[in-house]
Amino acid sequence: MIKAAVLGATGYAGAELVRLLSSHPDVEMTYLASHSYAGKKFSDIYPGLRSVVDIVLSEDDINAAADAADVVFLALPAGLAAKTVTAGILAKTKIIDLGADFRLHDKNVYEQWYKKEHNAEDLLKEAVYGLPEIHRKDIAGKRLVANPGCYTTCSILTLYPLVKNNLIDVDMIVIDAASGTTGAGRGEKVTSLFCEVDESIKAYGVTDHRHTPEIEQELSQAAGHPLLVQFTPHLVPMNRGILATCYAKLKDGVEEIDVEKAYSMYEGEKFIRLVPTPPETRYVKGSNTVDIGYRIDPRTRNIVAMGALDNLVKGAAGQAVQNMNILFSLDEAEGLSVSSASTY
């Protein structure tokens, strides 16, 4: 059995991770931590897991977690992982960070977008970007995995085949994305209150959302040269889900058969479905699946590529479990659902 620890276990992503790990056949949770609820049972905070996960929550102590577990999941605010993960910790356990501290390869880019000093620059070269469908071979055998963000996972996977195969003008990529409110975390914020969110939709982080450089980093690697994207996220009144609608100009001579061939790279991927109709978040809710579809507009020669996922599963906790499975040479789908939790 793999012994697992979760720091930040009572946030939305952390709690979803605990739920998934509780039914994983090869995992025993040995350490759950929450700064806000230390001393209480996890099931007191999330009664849906009563008699399933009754572990008493500890303080967020990465040293204690590393001593108790083969893998430690960090579901912490930006900046904390870089302060606590060290070479000594990695000598004792594997780390899967659900935060942003090890996603960006360049310390200066991180500090520019997150407005925080990065305290573990020496570990950035060791960290691998944990998007299995693209970096599966790089993830295997590593000690430090940077679990991608929800907007980024959806946007990158939706656009990657087009960029990798040089089918679009990469100087004109626009990503219009929407997220459910759990993406803002469980902390108390006026802007996340029901009355502030219900019956409304708004753009936020316009031109400066922190996921922008993450998308650019991965798509630049696919293109073989630096590129920029115009990324605008929106908050919509639903609990879960990401929908990314991506616009780009097809290069001269590119036909639909070329696009179809490019997306065939995902054939055989357990958690990517190429769908004939525009993706909807309700059909991926509760699953680790990304639905991807596209339309080519013959009038404008634009392609509209669309992706949908559950921000708490494939966009966070599910992808973290997928990465754990790779690290420990398990079936990648172990403990994860490929179908929606709902049929409507």
Average pLDDT over residues 311-331: 98
Looking at the structure, do residues 6 and 109 belong to the same domain, yes or no?
Answer: yes
Looking at the structure, do residues 229 and 282 belong to the same domain, yes or no?
Answer: yes
Which of the following is catalytic: 150, 154, 195, 246? 150
Structural domain includes residue 59: yes
Can you tell me the distance from the alpha carbon of 251 to that of 302, in angstroms, rounded to the nearest whole number? 9
Is position 195 annotated as part of the catalytic site?
no
What pTM was computed for the model? 0.96
Domain count, the chain: 2
> Does the structure show a pLDDT above 90 at 276?
yes
Average pLDDT over residues 207-223: 98
Average pLDDT over residues 287-293: 98
Looking at the structure, do residues 24 and 172 belong to the same domain, yes or no?
Answer: no
Can you tell me the distance from the alpha carbon of 175 to that of 187, in angstroms, rounded to the nearest whole number? 27
> Whose CA is closest to 249, among 173, 307, 305?
173
Buried b (16+ CB within 10 A) or exposed e, 20-38: bbeebeebebbbbbbeebe
Can you tell me the distance from the alpha carbon of 241 to that of 252, in angstroms, rounded to the nearest whole number? 34
Looking at the structure, do residues 208 and 259 belong to the same domain, yes or no?
Answer: yes
Percent of the chain at pLDDT exceeding 90: 92
Looking at the structure, do residues 90 and 229 belong to the same domain, yes or no?
Answer: no
Angle in degrees, 0-180, between the axes of helices 318-327 and 132-139, rounded to the nearest 10: 30
> Does the structure show a pLDDT above 70 at 294?
yes
What is the per-residue pLDDT for 342? 63
Structural domain includes residue 173: yes
> Does the structure show a pLDDT above 90 at 344?
no
> Does the structure show a pLDDT above 60 at 273?
yes
Looking at the structure, do residues 112 and 220 belong to the same domain, yes or no?
Answer: no
Looking at the structure, do residues 7 and 78 belong to the same domain, yes or no?
Answer: yes
pLDDT digits (tens, 9 = 90+) for 36-85: 999 999 999 999 999 999 999 999 999 999 999 999 999 999 999 999 99
Looking at the structure, do residues 240 and 294 belong to the same domain, yes or no?
Answer: yes
For residue 72, what is the domain's CATH number?
A: 3.40.50.720
What is the per-residue pLDDT for 339? 77
Can you tell me the distance from the alpha carbon of 16 to that of 152, in angstroms, rounded to the nearest whole number? 19
Structural domain includes residue 104: yes
Structural domain includes residue 269: yes
Can you tell me the distance from the alpha carbon of 246 to that of 169, in angstroms, rounded to the nearest whole number? 13
Structural domain includes residue 38: yes
> Does the structure show a pLDDT above 80 at 188?
no
Residue-range definition of the domain harbouring residue 39: 2-126
Looking at the structure, do residues 118 and 213 belong to the same domain, yes or no?
Answer: no
Is the alpha carbon torsion for 197, 198, 200, 203 positive or negative? positive
> Does the structure show a pLDDT above 70 at 341?
no
Backbone phi, then psi, for 246, in 5-degree steps? -115, 130
> Does the structure show a pLDDT above 80 at 192?
no
The alpha carbon of residue 323 and the mean position of all alpha carbons in its chain are separated, in whole angstroms, by 11
* Alpha helix positions (H), 39-142: 42-45, 62-68, 80-84, 87-90, 107-114, 132-139
pLDDT digits (tens, 9 = 90+) for 85-128: 999 999 999 999 999 999 999 999 999 999 999 999 999 999 99
Structural domain includes residue 135: no
Could you say which DSSP state residue 282 is in? G
Among 69, 93, 126, the domain boundary falls at 126
